Amino acid sequence: MWDFLALGLRNISHRRTRSLLTVIGIFIGIAAVVSLISLGDGLQNVVAGEFQKMGTDKITVMATAGGMMSSPMASEISANPLTDDDITLIKRVRGVKSVAGMLMKSANIGFKNVKKAGFIYGIPTDDNLKMFEDMQSIEVVEGRKFTRADRNALIIGSYAASDMFDKKKVKIGDTLNVNGRDMRVVGILKSVGNRMDDSSVYAPMETIRDIFGEPELVSMILVQTSPGAEPAGIAEVIEKKMRDRRHEKEGEEDFSVSTSEQLLATFSLVFGAVQAVVIGIAAISLLVGGIGIMNTMYTSVMERTREIGIMKAIGARNGDILRIFLIESGILGAIGGLVGITIGASIAKIAEIVAAEALGSNILKASFTPELIIGALLFSFLIGALSGVMPARQASLMKPVDALRYE
């Protein structure tokens, strides 16, 4: 076997230009697959980590409207939005420990003559604040949290405090204008590495309702189940009770009730499908590369016909000839795989750095697992070996006399 490997490497090195052109299709495909899978795995790891922080005992209720996916903003256009009545109903469900509503609104936010459009979140200031902080990963690093007495108070994200208003720094005690109302900053949040979240502005729920004239509206309802309760079963009960109160048929609801595990499973399913399609497109390069290796090996068989005849004349068997050409084609695939893995890893890391700079987020992180690296290398070797099957078989079936007489 070592002789076969040495012979394959020698033949490839003697045809450097042709070998380089042959492996281009392989390494382009492998580079695309490695970069996409590593970024996809990294994104899934980050999202899974966020759901783990949320906890498995949480349930989220959101509105749906006009075919939109569930989102806090869906209540804005829903014919039957979420309200305080839904919160009261959910509180009565057996197994529910606590319930909190959140109101999300788009607003004009101004600071020192600089106005920006952004989202402001109305959150509870009572005992439910802790649950909301845990689910939304809210951690105040400067100033303080909301108290029950707060009205015109704000807690802002790290990006809103440092860069959102044309690099003008917002400090504790500064005043922001929200849709014409002056409100004082009492807290600044720890950065979560996501510019959208770090641009968030939070205010007491009742204050936001007063500013926007929405005394009953809720954008999202957060539910925490009692210890030992089954979140999936409680979610089904909540869905049934809300459906009955709204007089809606099953499957035609204008709201959704999801556990944290269901949300993660839905994300993984959708993301996995998108990733499979993109990787499938990238795999076309592997097919082209495989055809290129097959063409190269057929050419190599034609050029080395007399060499094949000599090897057979001195005792080489058909299986030996077959292995020589299969190993050579496999080496071509493996070389393409090594180059592709290196380039793919570099592309993924560059994308990670660019995303961090452009989005101000660490959500796009490349993840290189041993399974990905070894799998890509073995796959490229397999593509090369399979592409060489037909040329290798043709070489192995040559008759020594015919091969020696070949010109």
Tens of pLDDT, residue by residue over 184-228, are 999 999 887 777 778 889 999 999 999 998 888 888 898 888 888
Q: Nearest to residue 257, comparing CAs of 230, 238, 276? A: 238
In the structure, what pLDDT confidence band is assigned to residue 171 with cuts at 50, 70 and 90?
very high
Within 230-315, strands assigned E span 255-259
User: Are both 62 and 43 inside the same structural domain?
Assistant: no
Of the residues 203, 228, 253, which one is the last residue of a structural domain? 228
**Are 76 and 31 in a shared domain?**
no
Q: How many structural domains compose the chain?
A: 2
Q: 260-303 and 305-313 helices cross at what angle (nearest 10)? A: 80
Q: Comparing 22-26, 181-185, 212-216, which segment has the lowest mean pLDDT?
A: 22-26
Enumerate residues 6+ apart whose C-beta is below 8 A from 252: none
Buried b (16+ CB within 10 A) or exposed e, 285-307: bbeebbebbbebbeebbeebbeb
> Could you tell me which of 142, 143, 131 has the C-alpha nearest to residue 220?
131
Instruction: Return the pLDDT at 156.
Output: 92
Could you say which of 206, 228, 250 is where a domain stops? 228
| Same domain, yes or no: 89 and 215 | yes
Same domain for 218 and 358, yes or no, is no
Which carries the bigger pLDDT value, residue 227 or residue 362? 227
Backbone angles phi, psi at 111, to 5 degrees: -150, 120
Do β-strands 153-156 and 181-189 pair in parallel, antiparallel, or remain unpaired?
parallel
Average pLDDT of every residue of the chain: 82
Hey, what's the torsion of the CAs at 68, 74, 80, 85, to 10 degrees?
A: 140
This prediction has a pTM of 0.62
Same-domain status, 72 and 211: yes
Residue 278 belongs to some domain of the structure: yes
Domain that holds residue 371: 2-51+265-405
210 vs 79, 103, 194, 214, CA distance in Å? Answer: 21, 12, 29, 7
Residue 10 sits in the same domain as residue 140: no
Does residue 23 carry a pLDDT above 90?
Answer: no
**Is 79 a residue whose pLDDT tops 80?**
no
Q: Using the 8-state DSSP alphabet, how is residue 252 labeled?
A: -
* Residue 255 domain flag: no
The number of beta carbons lying within 10 Å of the beta carbon of residue 89 is 18
Rounded to whole angstroms, the Cα distance separating 313 from 320 reads: 13
Q: Are residues 130 and 21 in the same domain?
A: no
Q: What is the pLDDT of residue 154?
A: 93
Contacts of 369 (CB under 8 A, 6+ apart): 41
Residue 180 has pLDDT above 50, yes or no: yes
In a domain, 258, yes or no: no
Q: Where are the beta strands (DSSP E) in 144-259?
A: 153-156, 175-178, 181-189, 201-204, 217-218, 220-225, 255-259
**384 domain-assigned:** yes
| Domain termination site, one of 228, 252, 287 | 228
Report pLDDT digits (tens) over 329-351. 888 888 888 998 999 899 988 98
Cα–Cα distance for residue pair 395/298, rounded to 1 Å:
9
- Euclidean distance between CA atoms 100 and 32, whole angstroms: 44
Same domain, 275 and 347: yes
CB 368 within 8 A of CB 38: yes
Sequence-distant contacts of 130-134: CB under 8 A, at least 24 apart: 131/98, 131/100, 131/222, 131/224, 132/100, 132/102, 132/222, 134/53, 134/54, 134/55
Q: Are residues 269 and 399 in the same domain?
A: yes
Residue 161 has pLDDT above 70, yes or no: yes
* In-domain check, residue 240: no
Measured CA to CA, the distance from residue 385 to residue 380 in angstroms comes to 9
- Does residue 233 sit within a domain? no
Report if residue 238 sits inside a domain: no
The verdict on 65 and 36 lying in the same domain is: no
Same domain, 47 and 85: no
Does residue 71 register a pLDDT over 70?
Answer: no
Residue with tokens 């959910």: 90
Q: Mean pLDDT throughout 66-80?
A: 57
Establish if 114 belongs to a structural domain.
yes
CB 125 within 8 A of CB 150: yes
Same structural domain, 45 and 107: no
274: confidence class by pLDDT, cuts 50, 70, 90: confident
